[in-house]
C-alpha cells in the first residue's frame, strides 16, 4: 500500500520535450530499481480550465513552454528517504545532475513530499 508521494510540476520548453522524455525514462528505471512503487511523468494536454488557476499560469510559463506533472510513489516517507538516497548515489544519474544540462529550468521546478490522504 502506498502512503507517500513525491510530486513535481516543471515548466519545460516544448522544443526540449524529447530530451525531457529521455531523462524521465532513465529516471523511471533508476527510481524503480531502487524500490519506488510507481513513477509517472506527464506532459500538459488540456491546460486551459476556465474554473481554476491553470498550471500554466501558476508556474508562470514563458512563451514556448508547457508543463510536466510528475509523481513517484513510495510505501512511506522513510521508504522515500531510503530510495532517494540510493538514487542520488546511482552512477546512472550522477553524471546528469548538472542543472545547466537539464532540459528545463531547475530553479522553477515545484516539488514536495505528500502523505496520501485518499487512495
Domain positions in the chain are 4-115
Per-residue pLDDT band for 1 (boundaries 50, 70, 90) equals: low
Rounded CA gap, 79 and 85, in Å?
A: 10
> From edge to edge, which strands make up the β-sheet containing 38-43?
38-43, 65-74, 4-13, 110-115
Rounded CA gap, 9 and 95, in Å?
A: 23
Give 80's DSSP letter: H
pLDDT of residue 68: 97
pLDDT of residue 97: 75
Bridge partners of residue 5, in order along the sequence: 73, 114
Mean pLDDT of the chain: 93
Reported as a single tens digit per residue, the pLDDT across 30-62 is 999 999 999 999 999 999 888 899 999 999 999
Reply yes or no on domain 4-115 having CATH 3.30.70.100. yes
Reported as a single tens digit per residue, the pLDDT across 3-22 is 999 999 999 999 999 999 99
Sheet strands (E) in 29-101: 38-43, 65-74
User: Does residue 67 sit in helix, strand or coil?
Assistant: strand
pLDDT of residue 49: 83
Residue 94 scores a pLDDT above 90: no
The verdict on pTM exceeding 0.85 is yes
- Mean pLDDT value across residues 95-112: 87
Amino acid at each position: 500500500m502506498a502512503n507517500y508521494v513525491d510530486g513535481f510540476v516543471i515548466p519545460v520548453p516544448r522544443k526540449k520535450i524529447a530530451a525531457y522524455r529521455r531523462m524521465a525514462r532513465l529516471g523511471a528505471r533508476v527510481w524503480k530499481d531502487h524500490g519506488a512503487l510507481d513513477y509517472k511523468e506527464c506532459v500538459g494536454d488540456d491546460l486551459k480550465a476556465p474554473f481554476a488557476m491553470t498550471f500554466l499560469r501558476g508556474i508562470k510559463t514563458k512563451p514556448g513552454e508547457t508543463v510536466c506533472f510528475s509523481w513517484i510513489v513510495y510505501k512511506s516517507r522513510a521508504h522515500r528517504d531510503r530510495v532517494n538516497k540510493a538514487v542520488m548515489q546511482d552512477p546512472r544519474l550522477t553524471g546528469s545532475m548538472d542543472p545547466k544540462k537539464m532540459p528545463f529550468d531547475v530553479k522553477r521546478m515545484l516539488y514536495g513530499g505528500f502523505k496520501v490522504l485518499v487512495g
